[in-house]
Structure 1
Amino acid sequence: MVSKAAKQAKLPMAAAAAAASPNSTNDENSAEKTSKTTSTAANSALPIKIWTNENFPNLMKLGMYLGIYMGVGTTCFYTLRDHIRGKKTNDLIDALYLCVVTMTTVGYGDLVPHSFLSQMIFSGFITVGMCLFGIVVKIAAKYLVVKQQMVMVNALHLSKKLGPMEALKEIESLKIDYTKCVISLIAAAAHFVIGVFVLVTYEKMDFNDAVYCACTTMTTVGFGDESFSSEFGRMFGIIWIATGTSTLGQLFLYIAEVYTDIETKKLVKWVLTSNIVVAKKDLEAADNVEDDKVYG
């Protein structure tokens, strides 16, 4: 009898627990859905990291090619030092300096080949250098194209998960990042100032000539009427010319990246807006006005 009474007493408690369990289950499901939506939004947030490990082998190969190019070029120019005319300092420094000036297309003209053999070798060296420059352009173009594609894919994924309206709000809230562009501009300006300082201090140039020489060098114009002529100046020029032209090129890349980001943002907004318009038209086409029902 006692056990029966206990069982009967437990029945209302079990019923109450059963009645409460759907609510708790619904709360758990709603919490789980909310967390899933939040995680989806977090995973779909823009912008995304597009410079993956797959891109680094190209840079490693390019670095290896440039190293081989510099080594072979310096060796050839050192061997052909008697076939090169112009103002000379140290044979090894001059060979490396001439290699850098040729590779970066600055081409001062202060050291030039004057025999048939040296001219043919220089011609081949210049041609190979242009091929390496083509590889650099290819890597830069791939960087911009892949970034644009990944932003578009990520936006469409966000639209599919959260809806085009939420995706459009997310896109409109994004701001263009000018940080890399500003940093590259500062680095290029610093290179320019350092170059002018060395040209004035060690090459004994007037300030106007130093500014002119630094400008023609970093832009790879290199008229040749002003250039490095001392041993220390050419040692400095080997590093400064290579890094200065690279820094300026990187600045142009980041300017192009900012412009690409702006145009990509416009394109994504246009695509999402088109999806919203199409969805509204489909909804209107499925609406039956006569019986106030929607089919589809």
Structure 2
Amino acid sequence: MCTIGYGDITPNSPTTKLFSIMFVLVGFGFIDILLSGMVSYVLDLQENYFLRAVKQKGENYMDAKSGAGPGSYFIDVKKGRMRIRMKVGLALGVVVLCIGIGAGVMHFVERLGWLDSLYLSVMSVTTVGYGDRAFSTFSGRIFASVWLLVSTLAVARAFLYLAEARVDKRQRRMTKWVLGHDMTVADFLAADIDNNGFVSKSEYVIYKLKEMGKVSETDIIRICNTFDRLDTGNCGKISLADLMENRH
């Protein structure tokens, strides 16, 4: 179910092969959902712990001008979340820890040399699994059944955070370019939604959000349709009377 497949133990009858097919297809999704939820829960607890620690210990050290504390490089206190660089660091740290634990168990339990232990640990955690090395002892296999599930999920989470970091970096670069880009005649015509010859502040904000990719034309149309539904008087405004009328 971890997609490794050492090849040391394989089904050798039609019944066991059919069972393996059903077990992997059903169990893979079930275990993935279960363990992914567990990993997300642990990471959320860890994130909340870091946030509370920064808020409690960093309030006395806040910069008067910028409002940044000693942990602001890792924690975005204003948004109430970890910075992506912190998530990447923690995820990679967990991967390294899993590799180290696996290498240690293989050395002392499976009686492999340190190089072979590290080799097998890395090949297992990264789900490569050549099959030239595998767990052979009963205790080693019991350990691997738990260790591999956690380790492969940690690797997947690390790659997810790395991808998120790249997307975040590209989004920040795009936002910087959009905000620093002067409005052209073509931009003006595109931003003038109601074609009245001038661009209001709300129209300018919507146009810039569309340029940044933070809102799409479909989203704007849906929001406008919802507004039109609430604006029963077709006056371009939502009054308290309109709101109460829609509720009834």
Deviation for aligned residue 1:134: 9.2
Is 239-248 or 121-130 further displaced after alignment? Answer: 121-130
Residue matched to 1:219: 126
Residue matched to 1:107: 5
Rate the CA distance shift 1:116–1:132 in 2: closer, same or farther, 3 A.
same
User: Any conservation in 1 of the 2:126–2:152 contact (CA below 8 Å)?
Assistant: yes
Is 1:243 matched up with 2:150? yes
Residue matched to 2:108: 201
Deviation for aligned residue 1:131: 5.4
CA distance in 2, matches of 1:121, 1:229: 23
CA distance in 1, matches of 2:131, 2:110: 14
CA distance in 1, matches of 2:114, 2:23: 34
Name whichever structure is richer in helix by fraction: 1
Aligned length: 146
CA distance in 1, matches of 2:147, 2:32: 22
Could you give the per-residue CA deviations for residues 196-244 of structure 1, whole angstroms, max 9, x where no partner exists?
A: 1110101111222211111110011112221122222122112211111
What TM-score results when the alignment is normalised by the length of structure 1? Answer: 0.43
CA distance in 1, matches of 2:7, 2:186: 67
Is 1:116 matched up with 2:22? no
Q: Which runs of 4+ in 1 moved over 4 A?
A: 129-136, 278-282
CA distance in 2, matches of 1:249, 1:281: 41
Deviation for aligned residue 1:108: 1.3
Q: 2:178 aligns with which of 247, 256, 271?
A: 271
Residue matched to 1:258: 165
CA distance in 2, matches of 1:241, 1:184: 16
**Letter of the 2:183 counterpart:** V
Segments of structure 2 that go 5 or more residues without pairing to the other structure are 38-72, 75-82, 189-196, 199-248
Deviation for aligned residue 1:265: 0.9
Higher Cα radius of gyration: 1
CA distance in 2, matches of 1:219, 1:202: 21
Query: Alignment RMSD, CA only?
Result: 3.3
CA distance in 1, matches of 2:141, 2:32: 27
**Letter of the 2:23 counterpart:** F
- SS of alignment partner, residue 106 of structure 1: coil
Rate the CA distance shift 1:135–1:238 in 2: closer, same or farther, 3 A.
closer
Task: Say which structure, 1 or 2, has more relative contact order (CA 8 Å, 6+ apart).
Answer: 1
CA distance in 1, matches of 2:187, 2:91: 47
- SS of alignment partner, residue 105 of structure 1: coil
Deviation for aligned residue 1:194: 0.9
**Letter of the 2:4 counterpart:** V
CA distance in 1, matches of 2:4, 2:15: 22
- SS of alignment partner, residue 120 of structure 1: helix
CA distance in 2, matches of 1:125, 1:113: 12
Residue matched to 1:144: none
Residue matched to 1:64: none
Deviation for aligned residue 1:126: 2.9
User: Any conservation in 1 of the 2:11–2:17 contact (CA below 8 Å)?
Assistant: yes
**Letter of the 2:152 counterpart:** T
Rate the CA distance shift 1:177–1:129 in 2: closer, same or farther, 3 A.
same
- SS of alignment partner, residue 113 of structure 1: coil
CA distance in 2, matches of 1:210, 1:236: 14
